[in-house]
């Protein structure tokens, strides 16, 4: 099953490019996995052995445990719930067929997610919707975290002319209102794909940077660039909601 | 980056270094320069607070991104289909 990743980070994201890189060829030859992140839990190799031996209970347990996060991730990248479910289902089929080749250099969750990423990317490209606002958040036009017109002084070395507002004084019910959360969800959906994966895994799923690099095939540096752009776009959008001028 | 560490950091540079700073990916000299700037610049301190808040709010979309309520258990028919695929694979002659 060619969609199953062989375990080398694939430095496919040029840090300063905005356009979507094509998904890696599924049968791309890759080398050994680096930086698996946290050590897999001690019982995991036993779990993997059980999966390899065809233990249905172990398989059901893993599906039950991972399904919500996988669906959530897939749902962010493909146009409909139906397609998201399809992506997750194909992921499990690939896991079934590929578990013998899983070398346990990363956690099982990282490996399964990496398969999902590959499948979702392929589907996402096939079924991509036109997102009118997407261009607003594309990093093609302007890579600045904050619009340069908010600063005075030499280009790139300005001081605040329109400083950030004090969100700390806002009540929690405003900060975490459903309007705020919806805005964040909408903004995450509109991020360029690579940024979206990194933000979803780091800040929503709470993965370590090492795990994210392993799952997405990114270098640490590229991962940070994508995280920076994604978080900066989210902060800028939130500024519209929570207040800009102090 | 090394050159920058000998200079003073200005506000606009901080907004581009913040993620590397939070990720612990900057050389010590640059971190010191940033800390000096933050101690003197309430606006950049607020920017840091905003970014932390942004990260925290993003963490709250967990479970809501697919709509309410959070994902239900795996539907029985899907689980059964997957298990059949799992069993077939392990019991096929090629397994």
| Domains of chain A by residue range | 134-153+160-242
In a domain, B91, yes or no: no
Task: Quote the number of domains for chain B.
Answer: 1
* DSSP letter (8 states) at residue B71: -
Q: Does A57 touch chain B (CB under 8 A)?
A: no
Query: Does the CB of B34 have a partner CB in chain A at under 8 Å?
Result: no
Give the per-residue pLDDT at B16: 96
* Cβ pair A24, A117 in contact under 8 A: no
Does residue B90 form part of some domain?
no
Classify the C-alpha dihedral A207-A211-A213-A217 as positive or negative: negative
- Surface-to-core class of residue B91, CB atoms within 10 Å of its CB (0-12 exposed, 13-18 middle, 19+ buried): exposed
Number of A to B CB contacts under 8 A, please give it: 157
Query: Taking the CB of residue A28, how many other CB atoms lie within 10 A of it?
Result: 15
Q: Does B92 touch chain A (CB under 8 A)?
A: no
More confident residue, A41 or A161: A161
Chain B hits for A164, Cβ within 8 Å: 43, 46-47, 50
CATH architecture of A134-153+160-242: Orthogonal Bundle (1.10)
Residues whose CB is less than 8 angstroms from the CB of residue B48 and which lie 6 or more positions away in sequence, other chains included: B18, B38
Residue A47, CA distances (Å) to A51, A96, A113, A219 in order:
6, 13, 17, 29
- Cis before B69? omega within 30: yes
Cβ distance A21 to A194 under 8 Å? yes
A chain contacts of residue B70, beta-carbon cutoff 8 Å: 68
Q: Which domain holds residue B33?
A: 1-64
Distance of CA B39 to the CA centre of its chain: 25
Query: Min CA distance, A31 vs chain B (Å)?
Result: 25
In chain B, what residues touch A166 (CB-CB under 8 Å)?
Answer: 46, 49
**Residue B32 within a domain:** yes
Taking only the tens place, the pLDDT of each residue in B11-67 is: 999 999 999 999 999 999 999 999 999 999 999 999 999 999 999 999 888 655 544
Question: What number of CA atoms fall less than 13 Å from residue B38's CA on the CB side?
Answer: 16
Asked whether A90 and A119 are in contact (CB, 8 A), the reply is: yes
pLDDT of B6: 56
Output the pLDDT for position B30.
95
- When pLDDT is cut at 50, 70 and 90, the band that residue A24 belongs to is very low
In a domain, B78, yes or no: no
Mean pLDDT of A63-78: 87
B12, B43, B66 member nearest A71 (Cβ): B66
In a domain, B86, yes or no: no
């Amino acid at each position: 099953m060619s969609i199953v990743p062989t375990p080398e980070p694939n430095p496919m994201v040029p840090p300063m490019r905005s356009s979507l890189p094509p998904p890696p060829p599924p049968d791309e030859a890759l080398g050994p996995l680096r930086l698996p992140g946290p050590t897999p839990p001690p019982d995991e190799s036993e779990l993997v052995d059980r999966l390899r031996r065809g233990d249905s209970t172990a398989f059901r347990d893993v599906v039950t445990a991972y399904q919500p996060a996988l669906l959530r991730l897939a749902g962010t990248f493909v146009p409909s719930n139906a397609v998201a479910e399809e992506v997750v289902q194909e992921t499990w089929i690939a896991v079934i067929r590929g578990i013998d080749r899983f070398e346990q250099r990363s956690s099982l969750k990282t490996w399964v997610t990496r398969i999902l990423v590959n499948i979702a990317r392929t589907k996402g490209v096939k079924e991509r919707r036109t997102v009118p606002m997407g261009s607003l958040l594309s990093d093609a036009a302007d890579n600045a975290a904050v619009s340069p017109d908010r600063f005075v002084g030499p280009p790139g070395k300005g001081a605040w002319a329109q400083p950030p507002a004090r969100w700390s004084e806002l009540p929690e019910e405003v900060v975490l209102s459903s309007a705020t959360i919806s805005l964040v969800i909408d903004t995450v959906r509109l991020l360029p794909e690579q940024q979206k994966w990194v933000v979803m895994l780091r800040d929503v799923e709470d993965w370590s940077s090492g795990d994210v690099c392993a799952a997405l095939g990114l270098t640490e540096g590229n991962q940070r660039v994508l995280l920076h752009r994604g978080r900066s776009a989210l902060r800028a959008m939130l500024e519209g909601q929570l207040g800009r001028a102090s | 980056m090394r050159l920058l560490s000998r200079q003073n950091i200005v506000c606009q540079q901080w907004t581009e270094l913040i993620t590397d700073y939070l990720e612990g990916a900057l050389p010590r000299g640059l971190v010191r320069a940033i800390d000096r700037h933050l101690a003197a610049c309430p606006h950049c301190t607020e920017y840091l607070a905003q970014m932390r808040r942004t990260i925290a709010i993003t963490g709250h979309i967990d479970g809501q991104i697919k709509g309410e309520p959070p994902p239900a258990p795996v539907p029985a028919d899907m689980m059964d289909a997957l298990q059949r695929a799992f069993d077939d694979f392990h019991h096929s002659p090629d397994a």
